[in-house]
Amino acid sequence: MIAGLEDVRSGYDVDCDVVVVGSGPGGAVAAANFAEAGLRTIVVEAGPVVRPEDMTRAAPLFLARYYWEGGLRMVAGDAPGPAMGGRCVGGSSVVNSAIMLKLPQWVREIWSREDGLGPLLDGAELDRAFERVFRACRVAPTPLAVMGRRNEIVQRALSHQRVPNGPLPRAVHGCEGCADCITGCHEGRKQSVDRSHLREPAERGAIDVMTCSHVDRVDLRGGRAVGVSGHVVDPVTWRRGGRFRVRAKRVVLAAGAAHTPVILLRSGISGRGLVGGTLTAHISVGAFAIMDEVVDPWVGATQGWGAISPDIRGLKYEALWAAPSLIGVNWGGVGEPWLRELGDMKHAAVVALVYRANAWGRVRVGLGGGPRLSLRVPTADVHTLMRGLKVAVDGFLGVGARYVSAGMTGVPERFGTPREAEALLDRRIRPRQVKMTFNHLFGSCRISADPRRGPVGLDGGVRGVDGVYVMDGALFPSGSAVNPQATIMALSDVLSRRLAGLAA
Amino acid sequence: MKARLEDSLLDVALAGFGAVSEALYPESDCGAPSHRDADMVARARSWFLTLPPESRRLLLALFASMELLGAGFAPALGRFSRLSAARRLRVVERLRASPIAPLKFLGDALKQSTSMIYLSHPAVLAHLGVYKSCDHPGAGLVPVRADALRSAPGATS
């Protein structure tokens, strides 16, 4: 059963074997496994169900309703930038571009070496978990038929720079190339986890999903989890409803790298200062090319084409589009000159760069009780990112772009030649000059064999308390170097199957 | 009392939003819709009221302080909305170009949040030439061309 607002508005008090907090990629996989093992499972989700009729191409309104903080969440620090995440049943899998890539071998080796994750990563168990996840989400390369010109131009630009490239594998079946991933796939072609993992067990009554329910804390008695408690929030009026309590001996936190540590901290579980203390993120920038030809970038798969940099370890290129009201906010200047430039948007192609930087920070409990995020981005990593950006700019210029813009300060607003783009290699560039985004957050409750490095042990259990587990991106010891959804799901699969006693 | 205060804050913030919009999205001869065509203030109001309370308060504070702060520091200046549109545009340009990080952040936030509203109006989307390959519950916002993908060349690597 999926309980909507009217079912939960006045509050509730229920019992189960396992309560899973968060219905995103980590929580949905864990809940499905617990249900398969015959455990009575309740998923508590802060957001509502997003039905096709709730979706709108008016992006500001969609974000206001279905993203955390209305899509306006910011990461503070030396390069402040947005960090967007879904707040609905299915979590960010409902509002991302569904890219599914396995954790690279070299990152596995780092995680094994630095945090002793060999018992989780070195055998075939994780590979089998990836296979299960990919099968459930119907992962396949983006079909050429739905690429459109924008993806094709990114392909040409990467090939021009001899960067090996290809169609990105995505959890989408029957994509129609409408480039609306970020405001919801109204035809249900995207295999978000509400569809791939929650729907069937919820329909047959093996899982109850309680929506619109904000968890305040994990309830503890004598150092043992006895459930979670919180309050209902109307997702339209934002008014508080009744209080709820879910009694369970096992609590699985899968509320994401921003919220999982905050729930622990509000519960008095600080893990000797480690909870929330090792936040990290991929840093992202975009290159906007204006071509001579008409591109019509609003047609074609949102992120259909991409590449892993062969020269810069941990750097990934991916074609990108979103509603003009999102992708256009950093576009050009202001006033009448900007209005005159708007006609260029139909000539645009965009590539996003995602880099596994050595950026570290912290999640704290903010004034309103929600997460307050901060990160420090090393200047050296920004310079590495700029090297990658130069490759993208040169690639676009090499295939006929009139100009390319990166929306940065302190360098020319537009690059018309590769020589002009050499400004990107200026060693004086500082993080705050770069318009970065931080949409892949991790590490705020690191899993580690070493209790001095992470508050979570190799079984996913939070040290110092019994019955509290973490199964989301907060576990990652460091950046995954690729889009994290597949790894979050696979790790959650391994940990939850072990906890439920299912065959690996 | 609290509700009245919030209503007053909303009114001041919308005055600030309107003043910034009028400066950034003026009437022009280039065919782009103006702030008036894009119905900026009414749509901003709807957006503000849809946002979660913390984010709403943040945006209301941003635009309300823009509207009032000048008058607070230099009463001769008056409210932001009383300045000429050209002067308001210069203020936003200077904020965006400021080497002082918080001021630059403020200028960027003004441009970004007003752009979100401007660039999601059907008339603006029509001016951009936006169309889609498939239908959507947001039908009416942009036209749908069922053959859009067939007419676009596929990637061929």
Distance CA A346, CA A342 (A): 8
Do B96 and B66 share a domain, yes or no?
A: yes
DSSP string, A231-257: EEE-TTT--EEEEEEEE-SEEEE-SHH
Mean of pLDDT values over B76-92: 90
Mean of pLDDT values over B41-59: 96
Do B139 and B111 share a domain, yes or no?
A: no
pLDDT at B46: 96
Residue B126 in any domain: the answer is no
Residue A241 near residue A233, CB atoms below 8 Å: yes
Do A100 and A217 share a domain, yes or no?
A: yes
pLDDT beyond 80 at A301 = yes
Confidence of residue B4 (pLDDT cuts 50, 70, 90): confident
Q: Of A406, A433, A460, which closes a domain?
A: A433
Share of chain A above pLDDT 70, in %: 100
Do B107 and B144 share a domain, yes or no?
A: no
DSSP string, A370-402: SEEEEEE--HHHHHHHHHHHHHHHHHHHHTTEE
Q: Per the CB < 8 Å rule, is A298 touching B52?
A: no
β-pairing, A224-233 vs A240-247, is: antiparallel
Do A216 and A329 share a domain, yes or no?
A: no
Interface test with chain A among B134, B145, B147, by most A beta carbons within 10 Å: B134
Residue B130 near residue A324, CB atoms below 8 Å: yes
Q: Per the CB < 8 Å rule, is A334 touching B51?
A: no
How many structural domains does chain B have? Answer: 2
How deeply is A402 buried, as exposed, middle or buried, from its count of CB atoms within 10 A (0-12, 13-18, 19+)? middle
Do B18 and B47 share a domain, yes or no?
A: yes
Confidence of residue B154 (pLDDT cuts 50, 70, 90): low
Do B43 and B89 share a domain, yes or no?
A: yes
pLDDT beyond 90 at A402 = yes
pLDDT at B135: 77
Domain of A217, CATH number, reads: 3.50.50.60
Q: Per the CB < 8 Å rule, is A300 touching B24?
A: no
Q: Each residue of A232-241: pLDDT tens digit?
A: 999 999 999 9
- Reported pTM: 0.95
In this structure, the number of other CB atoms found within 10 A of the CB of residue A23 comes to 34
Confidence of residue A504 (pLDDT cuts 50, 70, 90): confident
Per mean pLDDT, which range of A192-206, A351-365, B63-77 is the poorest?
B63-77
How many helices (H) and strands (E) chain A has is answered by: 14, 24
Do B93 and B25 share a domain, yes or no?
A: yes
Indicate the SS3 state at residue A440: coil
pLDDT beyond 60 at B157 = no
Counting one residue from A and one from B, how many pairs have CB atoms under 8 Å apart? 183
Confidence of residue A289 (pLDDT cuts 50, 70, 90): very high
Residue B125 in any domain: the answer is no
pLDDT at B155: 47
Cβ density class A66-105: b for 16+ within 10 Å, e for less: bbbbbbbbbbebbbbbbbbbbbbbbbbbbbbbbbbbbbbe
Q: Per the CB < 8 Å rule, is B32 touching A56?
A: no
Per mean pLDDT, which range of A52-56, A139-143, A153-157, B12-16 is the poorest?
A52-56
pLDDT at B138: 63
How deeply is A166 buried, as exposed, middle or buried, from its count of CB atoms within 10 A (0-12, 13-18, 19+)? middle
Interface test with chain A among B40, B45, B50, by most A beta carbons within 10 Å: B50
pLDDT at B80: 92
User: Nearest by CB to B130, which of A149, A165, A324?
Assistant: A324
Phi-psi region of A397 (alpha: psi -120 to 50; beta: other; left: phi over 0): alpha
pLDDT at B74: 65
Give the full edge-to-edge strand order of the sheet including A315-319: A165-167, A305-308, A315-319, A348-355, A283-291, A401-405
* Parent domain of B114: 2-120
Q: Per the CB < 8 Å rule, is A329 touching B116?
A: yes
In this structure, the number of other CB atoms found within 10 A of the CB of residue A29 comes to 33
Confidence of residue B153 (pLDDT cuts 50, 70, 90): low
Distances (CA, A) of B27 to B67, B87, B129: 22, 16, 19
pLDDT at B156: 45
Backbone angles phi, psi at A413, to 5 degrees: -65, -30
Q: Each residue of A411-429: pLDDT tens digit?
A: 998 999 999 999 999 999 9
Share of chain A above pLDDT 90, in %: 92
* Parent domain of A378: 141-182+280-433
Do B86 and B153 share a domain, yes or no?
A: no
Q: ∠ CA(A402), CA(A403), CA(A407), 5° rounding? A: 155
Mean of pLDDT values over B43-47: 97
Residue A75 in any domain: the answer is no
Distances (CA, A) of A83 to A157, A176, A245, A257, A442: 28, 27, 30, 11, 12
pLDDT beyond 90 at A366 = yes
How many structural domains does chain A have? Answer: 2
Q: Of A384, A412, A433, which closes a domain?
A: A433
Do B34 and B71 share a domain, yes or no?
A: yes
Do B107 and B154 share a domain, yes or no?
A: no
| Alpha carbon of B23: minimum distance to chain A alpha carbons (Å) | 7
Do A63 and A197 share a domain, yes or no?
A: yes
pLDDT at A52: 84
Do A350 and A402 share a domain, yes or no?
A: yes
Do B138 and B90 share a domain, yes or no?
A: no
| Alpha carbon of B153: minimum distance to chain A alpha carbons (Å) | 6
Do A173 and A303 share a domain, yes or no?
A: yes
Distance CA A99, CA A96 (A): 8
In this structure, the number of other CB atoms found within 10 A of the CB of residue B130 comes to 23
Do A327 and A470 share a domain, yes or no?
A: no
Distance CA B137, CA A57 (A): 8
